[in-house]
Amino acid sequence: MRMAFFSCLLIGLILLSPLHGIAKPGVSAVNAVLMNESTGEVLYEKKAHEKQKIASITKIMTAIIAIESGKMNETVKASKRAVYTEGSSIYLEQGEKMLLKDLVYGLMLRSGNDAAVAISEHVGGSLEGFVYLMNKKARWIGMTNTHFENPSGLDGEKHYSTAYDMALLMRYAMNNKIFEKVTKTEMYKSESREYAWKNKNKLLTTYYEYSTGGKTGYTKSAGRTLVSTASKDGTDLIVVTLQDPNDWIDHINLYEWGFENTDKPTIASPKDSTGFSESFGNIYRQIIGIDING
């Protein structure tokens, strides 16, 4: 009886420790950062300033430049270069016309590389001109360890960023109401499509009730990359992970720890006997049981 009691107590302490300030959560990512969106304060970091390939989280920059261009209601004609861009796609056809607004949704929800090129050619005059704008914007935001080669995130020798810089970018982008609306959209249907696009960000669509947006990324060389945002009881947080095989779980762990260790909410989350919030415990089990790698 006594042994069973101490076993239960030990398990409870292990479960409680990452959520209640006893210890910071460990993450599988090579690089990670947890940032307070409102203040810019870094609450957790792991090699956050190390330059890495970033894959499709690049598209956050592509989207915000497109949105700020003021051309969202203009019609874009897909070029051969856009249509034949390798990687993920919204399946544009050469010569197809689509609103820039729709391309931005296709870019963010479905990670369309063809959409990225079409956007860049329309907004920047050329892909190369748009990349110039991307790098200029990065310097203006303060992304001192970032350089872009393309608008999609395909691997390149001079295409890199850091977890910290990408958090700065997301913090900046989330101040734009149009971007905020796009990134938190779960489903979107363009008038030129017979089917709707579902957001690939499973934190938003399935796993985490406090999720408010983000962008996924993957290449074989960069591994899994993820930028996400979450909001709970008036606290807004940003998490970035690079080279992370367990990114869904790591983001939830960091958010739960972050929400517990920033200013206390006025209304406490319901707890079960182990100290988990009920929502977190359920979602954690769901990820373990269904899909750990997305």
Q: How many helices (H) and strands (E) are present in the chain, helices listed first?
A: 11, 9
pLDDT tens string 55-103:
999 999 999 999 999 999 999 999 999 999 999 999 999 999 999 999 9
Does residue 42 sit in helix, strand or coil?
Answer: strand
Taking the CB of residue 16, how many other CB atoms lie within 10 A of it?
15
Annotated binding site: 215
Kindly give the interhelix angle for 127-141 and 163-173, rounded to the nearest 10 degrees: 90
Can you give the pLDDT at residue 138?
Answer: 98
Cα–Cα dist 202/75, whole Å: 30
Give the mean pLDDT of the chain: 87
For residue 163, give the DSSP letter. H
Paired sense of beta strands 97-99 and 187-188, if any: unpaired
Query: What is the pairing mode between strands 211-219 and 223-232?
Result: antiparallel
pLDDT tens, position by position, 41-66: 999 999 999 999 999 999 999 999 99
Give the start-to-end residue ranges of the domains of the chain.
Answer: 24-290
- In this structure, the chain runs to a length of 294
Distance (Å, rounded) from C-alpha 244 to C-alpha 87? 20
Active-site amino acid positions:
56, 59, 111
DSSP readout, 168-211? HHHHHHTTSHHHHHHHT-SEE--TT-SSPEEPS-HIIIII-TTE
CB-based contact 124:130 (threshold 8 Å): yes
**pLDDT for res 164:** 98
pLDDT at 184: 98
* CATH homologous superfamily, domain 24-290: DD-peptidase/beta-lactamase superfamily (3.40.710.10)
Unique residue bearing structure tokens 């009920």: 278
Other C-beta atoms closer than 10 Å to the C-beta of 42 total 15
pLDDT at site 65: 98
What is the pLDDT, as a whole number, of residue 23?
74
pLDDT at residue 8 above 90?
no
Decide: 182 and 63 in contact? Cβ < 8 Å. Answer: yes
**Per-residue confidence at 135, pLDDT binned at 50, 70, 90?**
very high
Give the per-residue pLDDT at 262: 85
- What CA–CA distance (Å, rounded) separates 10 from 278? 20
Q: How far apart are CA 229 and CA 167, in angstroms?
A: 10
Residues near 1 by beta carbon (within 8 Å), at least 6 away in sequence: none
User: Token pair of 253, please?
Assistant: 């762990």
Q: How far is CA 245 from CA 249, 293, 294, in A?
A: 10, 6, 9
Annotated binding site for substrate: 215
